Structure 1
Amino acid sequence: MPKANETVLEIDLGALTHNFNYLKSKLQPNTKFLAVVKAFAYGSDSVAIAKHLETLNIDYLAVAYAKEGVLLRDAGVTTPILVLHPQPVNFKTIIERCLEPSIYSARILSEFISVAEEQSQKDYPVHIKFNTGLNRLGFWENDVDYIVSKLKETTSIKVKSLFSHLAASEDKNETEFSKHQIETFKSIAKVFKSKINYNPWLHLCNTSGIINYPEGHLDMVRSGVGLYGFGNSVAEDKQLKPIASLKSVISQIHTIEKGETVGYNRVHKAKDYETTATIPIGHADGITRIYGKGKGYVFINGKKAPIIGNVCMDMIMVNVTGIDCKEGDEVIIFDGLHKASNLAESSGTISYEIITAISQRVKRNIIST
């Protein structure tokens, strides 16, 4: 790959194919695969990712909000798209753009039925979300009769799937809780299906659920972070390939004397002669202030250079004392070798946060390998 000469996020579609095939290998042949492409496909490029997944015959896509689904439709993506957290103000748009809403409460169910009826819909596909312990969104187990009664009052919608979300599928200390969630969901689904005359798909497992709980794979699984190269464990991370590499370049090098300071608020004070490099990426690009003051780091010519002082809006400064480098040299913030998860851990956060935070002003380069 060419060396970076500006701040750029390289997105490797070959790595995406590898991750998809690895996760798919965990499933039974008839188990469907839903790819989560919300938040610009976890900070990468939702259109490029969705279109590539279509070439891999992905069964479903999922986004958080309606506007994310509209973006994909405008780009020509035709795969079914589940909207995980829709709001009533967007229901007409959802129907117009052939998106499929998650129905997670009595209010959302009633309001979507109303809009669907106004739009003269028949059997419009919806997905009923049950809360089995994550306690974010979803109906309760004792809401089944209410949901079924509402369904029987209308022909405007039809349930395409029932689903829930595991709360701690990556945590081996929570195995008992996760298994309880799986059994609770299966019980809810059994009762629900006994009260209607068709069989919606069932899905529950996220990436770590795919890996750790094959008994929960059911009709379909959902993967987000795993597709982007993170398995939530050291062992699984070795099997996956991060699809994104965030790179930049040294803009300027300074030599400062003992006692001189660097950056806003004079947070960093040189203990001796130091060489610093300024790099054109900052908190407006997704490298937030938590990575400052030596917590975060970059790699220059294979050497680790700690971020010094406070992260600025458009740049960071790093200590390159003892590193053989010059202005114009490439800087690696994270890639397949220097992983985003390690950088995140250095500052007390997680890979999800750093990869989804990469600003849309950072140039994206799509690479097929």
Structure 2
Amino acid sequence: AEVGAGYGFAQLPLFGSSEAPALARGVRHAAVVNGRVLVPLFLGLQLEARGELPVALAVRDAAGEKAEATGFSAGGALLVPLKSAARWGGTLVLDFQHVRDTVTLADGTRSEQRLRRVGAALELAWRDAPPAPVPPPPAREPLGTLAVRVLDAESGAPLSGARVALGDVERVADASGQVEAELPPGEVAARVSAEGYAPSEARATVEDGGRAQLEVRARRLPPPTGGLRVTVVNAQNGVPLPGVRVAVGATEVRTDMMGQARVKQLPPGPVAVVVKSPGFRVAEEAAVIVAGQESALSVPLASERKSGPATLTGHVRSTRGGQPLAATLLIAQAKVRTRTDAKGAFAVKVKGGTYRITISARGHLSQTKVVKVRDGEQAIFNVDLFPRQKR
């Protein structure tokens, strides 16, 4: 059954006196209530009953004057199926309709109209394709659970954030260093990678419906190291000096025919360099080792037999990357105040004696060194300043 409501507009016939009828048109605005009932019968037949009742909202006659109107509509149909196929169907429709409308004018004149209609029609219906059959659910894939825990090999602490590859599946370890995954039965290799640790691997066997546990211990990588190349030359003429003893921290080597000595596997950071050779004054330097790189240091050696004023030379660098610094050197006893050049180098001539030298640069901690020189000596020292800590 169906019930509906809507709006209806109709032009209704108006007749004058019965002696001399004259056809005119009235107008009706109405709210329409309708209904429809479909009743199944035997042999696939169907009986349809329908009706419509207008409720007048405004009625005007041909002259525009107010009027009153009533009416109704009733009908039915017999639906006879003729053909029914997979995609279309045909139905014979035998239809009957009765309509009655009455209009009453302001002067009491009443006009009434009755309409009856009988008809037949052929109704064709096109149907959508039948739905595809629903495939049966896939068979359950055999799976098992593997729980992997990643630990530090030395301390046994869990490694959170470690990446664990289980075949085509990759997981990230949680705060307890654990990952868990469902995998097909069989042997599984767990490959672990973590920052600062060497790659590790362990194996476990996963069973259908079972739960296997695996512990992987990763070892830390050794700290990165750097190297240092020291070139020793004669301070007077720049000629390389072979066979010179060079002490870099606790390691001692000698220069080759090119005046060079190399030391590898040094930890990052500042390191003391001491250069000694007969007939030359001892030179003390400082170098900064950078991980994964070979730093270079040139050391000129001054002859012991030189006379005249003493010379203080060297470089000022930052311990952060070994960059040269624009620094100020203050020697109060000699009333000397000088600045380094663009390469961080300096050279000062003073009389023989003991001096306290203060080295300062913007953004770095100042250093004070005590140097003792004799006339004609050349004291070479490099200064590495540490950056100030930000607050």
Q: Which has the higher helix share?
A: 1
Query: What TM-score do the two structures reach when normalised by structure 2?
Result: 0.19
TM-score (norm 1): 0.19
Find the structure with the greater CA-based Rg.
Answer: 2
With a CA cutoff of 8 Å and minimum separation of 6, indicate the structure with the bigger relative contact order.
Answer: 1
Higher relative strand content: 2
